[in-house]
Structure 1
Amino acid sequence: MTRILIPSGALGLGYDQTALDRGVAARPDLIAIDGGSTDSGPSYLGRGLSKYTRAGTKAEWAGLIRARQAAGCPLVIGTAGTCGTDSTVDWLVDITREILAEEGLTATIATLKCEQDPAHIARADLTALPGAPDVDAAAIADCTHIVALAGAEQIMAALDTGADIIIAGRTTDTAIIAALPLQRGDHAGAVWHGAKVGECGALCATNPQSGVLLLDTDATGFTVTPLADEACATPHTVSAHMLYENSDPFILHEPGGYLDVTDATYTAIDDRSVRVTGAEWHMADAYTVKLEGARVAGYQTVALVTIRDPHYVANAAAWCDDILQKHAAKVTTRMGPQDYDCQLRIIGQTATLGSLDHNPAPASEVGVLAIVTAADQATAHDIAKLLNPYLLHHPLTRDEEQPTFAFPFSPPEIDKGAAYAFVLHHVMTLKDPMDAFRLEVLA
C-alpha cells in the first residue's frame, strides 16, 4: 500500500492546517501538490510568471516543507509557479532555499524542467488533438514559452534521485500522485483513478474548500479520505470527479496510455471514506506528451462604462452593435485601415457565455467592457480613445435626448499590455520518456 497526502488542489489556494497535521500523523509515503494549470489563461505561460504572490506562495510552501520534515517523506510539486516554465521552477527553488535557511533545515532538492525550444518544436512532427487551433511553424516559433507535460515516468526518475523536495515544471495533474504507487507496483488502474480523484484535494468531498485529502492505493483499488472537519467523501462526490476537466467521464488520457473507469465500483466504507475498485489502465503503443505554448497575440487597451437607465439596459446589445459599427467607420476615417479587434462585452447579461447564453437574466444595471486589441499598445490606445465618446453619450436613436453614462475611472482607457494566446494543443511522440525533460539534483 502507498499513502499520498494531498494538501490542496494547488499551492496558493490555502489548506486546513489542522487537517494537514492529521495527514502528517497518518505517516504518508509522499506529500504531493499541484502548482498550477492553464485555468487562468495563457498570460502566465506567455510571460513565464506565477499568478500567486511570492509572499503567499512562501507562506504555504513553508508549511508543507515543515510537514515534509515531520513526516519524513518526499515533497513533490508539479507545474511549479502556475505554468511550469523553467523560470517558475527557478523561482520556487529560490523560495525553497530561503525557507530552508530561515527554518534551519536541510533538504536535497531535485528539479524537473519541461520547457522546450520553440524553434525545435516548430520543426517537430506534432499531432493535433481535437479542437486544436490552426497553427503553422512560424506561429509556433513565435511562442515565448512552450512546455511539455511530464507524466509519471519523469516524476519516477526524480524520485529515484532520493531528493527530499522535487520541484517539477509542467506536469499532468495526476502524475505527481501516481508516480510513487506505480513505482511500488500498486494496481495501475487504481493508481491512475485515485490520482485523478485526488488531483484537486478535497474537491472530491462534501466540503471542497477544505483542501486536505489522504489517498491510499494498493494491489486492487484505492481509498480516499478527506481530513478536514465536516468533510466527507461519498460515492457520488468521488465518482463525479471524473467529469472534472475531462470530456469523457470514463476515459482519461495520460502520457503512455489511458485510464478506463467504465467498470469502477464506488463503496462507502464509513461516513468519511470511499473505496474504489475496477478501473483499468491501458498502455499506448507510443509514448506521447502534450505541449502547451503561448505567444503574444497583440496589445490591449480596455475601458469600462456602467449603464443604469432601464431603456439602455434593456437594449444594451443593440446599443453596443450600433457603437461598434460607427466606431469602425471612425477608425478608418481618422486612422486609415487598421488590423485590430474591438469587443464590447455586456457585464450582467452575456459577458461570460456571449452568444451561448440564450436566456440572460434581467438586470437593473449593466457594465459594458470594451476590449481593443491591436498590433502595438499605441494603436490599441488610440482606437480605444475613439471609442470614448460613444461609451459616454451614444443615443439609441436620433430622436432621443443625448444620454450620459458613467465611467468608473478617469481616464477610462487602461492600457493592459501584451495579450497572449494559446498556440498548441498538440502531442509529441518521444522515443524515451526523458527525451524532452531535464532532471537535476541541486547541491
Structure 2
Amino acid sequence: MSTPSPLISTCNIVTPVGMLGYGLDESLTASLLAAVIPNGAPTAIILDSGSTDSGPEKLALGHTTSPRTSYVRDLRKLVRLAWEYKVPLVFTSAGGDGSDEHVGEMVNVLKEICEEQGNEERHYKLKVIAIYSAVTKTFVHERLQKNAISGCGPPVPPLTSKLIDSAPRIVSQMGPEPLYDAMTATPDFNILVGGRAYDPSPYIAFAAWASKTPLDQTSTPEAKRLWGGFAHMGKILECGGICASPKCSAVRATMYADGTFDLTPGEPESRCTPLSVSGHTLYEKSRPDLLYGPGGWLDLMESSYELLWDGRTCRVRGGRFTFSRDVGAKYMVKLEAAHVVGYRASYMGSVKDAILIGQLDSVLKQIKEYVAEQHRGVEGTWDLDWHVYGQHQTTADGQPAEVFLIGEALASTQELARSVASTARIATVHAPYPNQKATSGNLAYGHGGKMESELGPCAQFSIYHLVELEEGEERLKLSDGSNALYRQEVSVIGRGDSQAASYQPASLSTEQYKQTTTVLGAPVTDNHFPTSPKTLGDIARVLRSKNAGPYEITFDVMFATESIFQLVKSSGFLNAAVIAKLNGIREDEVIWSGFFDQALAYKATIPRLWKGKPTPNGGFMESDVHGSQKYIGLLNMPLPEEFAHKWDEMMAKRREDSGVQTVITPPAS
C-alpha cells in the first residue's frame, strides 16, 4: 500500500449530545476535548437545540423542548468546559424552536450561571453573540404576493394570508452565512447563541471560519468538495453519537483541508464504522443521496467511508455541496410557524368483554352520534375520535385481548372540549349493544382518579414553506444599509478577565492517522443469516421509521453484508408499489423510494396522513409524534417465495466458504 499524503487539520468539533437540554456527560466531553486540542487546530463545542419532532407547541405556545432547569444544568457544564479548555461554545435553535424569545432566555440563563455562587471564583467574563432569526409577517406577506413561497415537500399545503396572520411567531432556518459573519465580526467570542437554524449550519459556519474559507469561493470542484465536507460533517454531528454503533451521546470530528473528516465516538464501547456512519446519513431525511438546505444541496452519491487503524474512527470524504447561486437559482430558506386550532380534552379506559370488543367499531360510531345529538345547537365547533390499542389481538387461550381506549376531543373552547369528552365517556360506559350481558358498565376507567382530563390548547404546524431570498438577505445585518434578514446582539457577561484562544493549524502525521488495508463494518454474526427467514425484519440489520420534517415519514432498511444487500436489491421486492400497499396510499403518493449503496440500505418516504389527508405531526389525534413506530408493516412484511430460494442458495455457498472470514467492503463509487 502506498503511503498516503499527510492531512492538514483545519478544525476540531466536539458534540457532547444531540440535543441541548437532554443531559450530557461532562467528564466524557472533557476527554474528547483533551484528545483533539493537541493537534493545534481551532476547536469548538457545538450542538443543536432544535427540532420539529416534538410537535408545534413551541412555535404556537412559546414552550421550550426541555424544562428551563434542564438548560441551566447542561449550560452550566458546557460553560465550565468551554472556559477551562479555552474553546468557544456554539448552539443554535435555542429553546427548540429558535424563536427570538428563546434566544433571549438562553442569554439570561448564561448570565445567571456567571452570577451563581462559586462561579465568581472562576472569574467568568464571556463575550456572547446572540443571533435572531425571526422574520416579520410583512416580509412573508410580500413574498407570498410575489409568488416567492412554496411548500417544503409535496404534502405541504399552499400558504395563505390567513395562516400568516394566525401565527404568533415565524422563524426562518438560517444557513451558515449569518453565523460565519458573526464569528468574523467578533472573532474573540466565547459563546454564540443562535436562533432557528438549519441543523448543520453552526458546524458549517465554524468549519469555514476556522479554515478561513471565504463565502464567495464555492464554484470550483475543490470548493464543492470542501463545502461538501463541511455540510456532511454537520449533517452527522448534529445528532451527536447516533452515528456510532452502538449509538451513544457524544462524538468528535476533525476536519481536513481537502474536505475529508474523521469521526470518533465518545463512549469507549462504541465505534464509528462505515456502515453506522453512512447509515446515519439516511436518518430523518426524505432521501439519502441529495440533501437540500439553505442556499443549495449536498450530493452524497460519491461519498465514501473507511475505518481507521484504531477500529473506532471513520474517515469520510466525497460529499459535494452546490450553491444555488452557482447554478443561477435563488437562495431559499425554510419558514416555520404554528398556530392554535382549538382545545383538547380526553378520557381513557379499557374494555375486556369479548362481546363488546367484537363490535367495538360500531359501538364507537354510535357513541359519536350520541355526542352529536347531545351537543346539537351548542355554540362552537368540535371533533371526537379514539386511539384504540390492542384491538384484533388475542390472548394465549384464543380470547380477544383487553383493548385500551383514549377518547380525544377537539373543540373551539376548553369548556366545550371537556363537555364532549365527558359525554363520550358516559356513553362509552353505558352504551347498550347487541347480546350485552354486563349491564353495569362497559369501561374500566378512572386512571389517576380522573374522569376526563383537560389538555389545553391544541397546536398545529401552519407554515413549513420555502421562501426565495434576494441577494444579501441570507447574511447578518452588520450595517444600517444592509438588507440582511438576521440581526445580532453582542454582550459581555461576568466580572472576571476576558479569555480568548489563539489557534494555529497543525499537520497530522501520516503515521498517526494511517489508513487500514481492509475496510471493516459492524461485526457480523450468525443472527444476520437466519436459516429460514420469513419476514423482512428477519434479514434486516436496522429497520426504522422517523419523521422527515413535520409532514413526512421516512423508512430505512439496512443490511449487514454486501451479499445480503445485493440479493435484496436484485430481487426487486422493495419498491414504491410495496411501500404504497403497506401504508394504504397510491404509488404516486410515495415521495421517494430507492437504494443507497454506501449504507447497504433501502429507503422510502411517504406523506404523514390522518384519515387519508396530509397532516403535520403533533396536532389533533397524534399518537406517534416522532413517527418512530410506523415501521411495523415493513418489519413483518413476508419475504417472497422466490427470494427464499435465492437465500437458500446464498446460505449454501456461505457454508461452503465457512472457513473464509467475512469482510464488509463498501461498494465502489
Q: Deviations over 1:249-292 (max 9, x none)?
A: 11111111100000111111131010111111111122111000
Provide the residue aligned with 2:347 in structure 1.
303
CA-to-partner distance for each residue in 1:121-176, whole Å, 9 max, x for gaps? 23323222222134410121110121001111111122222321011111111111
2:151: which partner in 1? Answer: 128
Residue of structure 2 equivalent to 1:265: 304
- For the pair 1:279 / 2:308, whether they are aligned, the reply is no
The match for 2:383 is: 341
Partner letter of residue 418 of structure 2?
Answer: H
**One-letter code aligned to 1:385:** S
Q: Does 1:217 align with 2:255?
A: yes
Superposed displacement of residue 101, structure 1: 1.9
Structure 2 residue 384 is the aligned partner of structure 1 residue 384: no
In the alignment, what sits opposite 1:442?
491
Write the distance in 1 (CA, Å) between the matches of 2:432 and 2:307: 62
Residue matched to 1:10: 19
Distance 1:129 1:36, change over 3 A: closer
Residue range with higher mean Cα deviation, 323-332 or 11-20: 323-332
Question: Runs of 5+ in structure 1 lacking a partner?
Answer: 350-358
How far apart are residue 400 of structure 1 and its match? Answer: 4.3
Match of 1:354 in 2: none
- 1:300-342 per-residue CA deviation (whole Å, 9 max, x = no partner) reads 112112223344445444433332233223322xx44752211
- Residue 232 of structure 2: SS of its match in structure 1? helix
Cα distance in 2 for residues equivalent to 1:16 and 1:57:
14
Question: How many angstroms apart in 1 are the aligned matches of 2:358 and 2:237?
Answer: 45
Q: How does 1:340-359 map to 2 (within 5 A)?
A: 340-348=382-390
Relative distance call for 1:70 and 1:361 in structure 2 (3 A) is: farther
Matching of residue 405 in structure 1 with residue 443 in structure 2: yes
The residue number in structure 2 matching 1:156 is: 180
CA contact (8 A) 1:73 1:164 kept: yes
Aligned counterpart, 2:583: none
1:30-429 equivalences in 2 (<5 Å): 30-102=44-116, 103-104=119-120, 105-125=124-144, 126-130=149-153, 131-160=155-184, 161-162=186-187, 163-183=189-209, 184=211, 185=213, 187-208=226-247, 210-218=248-256, 219-270=258-309, 271-284=311-324, 285-313=329-357, 315-332=359-376, 335-336=377-378, 338-348=380-390, 364-397=401-434, 399-402=436-439, 403-407=441-445, 408-429=447-468
Cα pair distance change 1:12/1:365, threshold 3 Å = farther
SS of residue matched to 1:52: coil
Contact map agreement 1:122 1:141 (CA 8 A) in 2 = no
- SS of 1:124's partner is helix
Q: What secondary structure does 1:60 align onto?
A: helix
**Offset of 1:116 from its aligned partner?**
2.1
Q: Secondary structure at the match of 2:178?
A: helix
**Structure 1 residues 360 and 426, CA gap change in structure 2 (3 angstroms):** farther
Q: Distance in 2 between matches of 1:122 and 1:236?
A: 45
How far did 1:92 drift?
0.8
Q: Is the 8 A contact 1:301 1:415 kept in 2?
A: yes
Residue aligned with 2:267, SS: coil
TM-superposed CA distance for 1:345, in Å, is 0.9
**Whole-angstrom distance in 2 between the partners of 1:133 and 1:305:** 36
Q: Which deviates the most, 39-48 or 360-369?
A: 360-369
Moved more, 145-154 or 382-391: 382-391
- Does structure 2 retain, via aligned residues, the 8 Å contact 1:9–1:211? yes
| Identical residues among aligned pairs (%) | 26
C-alpha offsets along residues 393-438 of structure 1, whole Å, 9 cap, x if unaligned? Answer: 2244265442331221444221111111101121112222132221
1:55-108 deviation digits (Å, cap 9, x = unpaired): 221111111111111221211111111111111111111111111222231101
The two structures have a TM-score, normalised by structure 1, of 0.92
Structure 1 residues 339-394: Cα deviation after superposition (integer angstroms, max 9, x where no partner): 22111111345xxxxxxxxx978783232111111111122122222212122222
- Number of corresponding residues: 431
Answer yes or no: is the 8 Å Cα contact 1:119–1:140 preserved in 2: no
Q: Is the 8 A contact 1:16 1:228 kept in 2?
A: no
Q: 2:174 is aligned with what amino acid?
A: A
Q: Say if 2:380 and 2:412, in contact at 8 Å, map to a contact too.
A: no
Letter of the structure 2 residue corresponding to residue 211 of structure 1? S
> 1:310/1:398 Cα in 2 relative to 1: closer, same or farther (>3 Å)?
closer
Preserved CA contact (<8 Å) 1:119 1:141? no
Moved more, 239-248 or 308-317: 308-317
1:22-68 CA distance string (max 9 Å, x none): 11212261110111211110011111221211222111111111111
Name the larger-Rg structure: 2
Structure 1 contact 8–200 (Cα < 8 Å) conserved: yes
Secondary structure, aligned partner of 1:21: helix
Maintained 8 Å contact 1:317/1:346: no
Amino acid at match of 2:202: I
Q: Please say if residues 128 and 425 of structure 1, whose CA atoms lie closer than 8 Å, have aligned partners that are also in contact.
A: yes
| TM-score, normalised via structure 2 length | 0.62
Match of 1:355 in 2: none
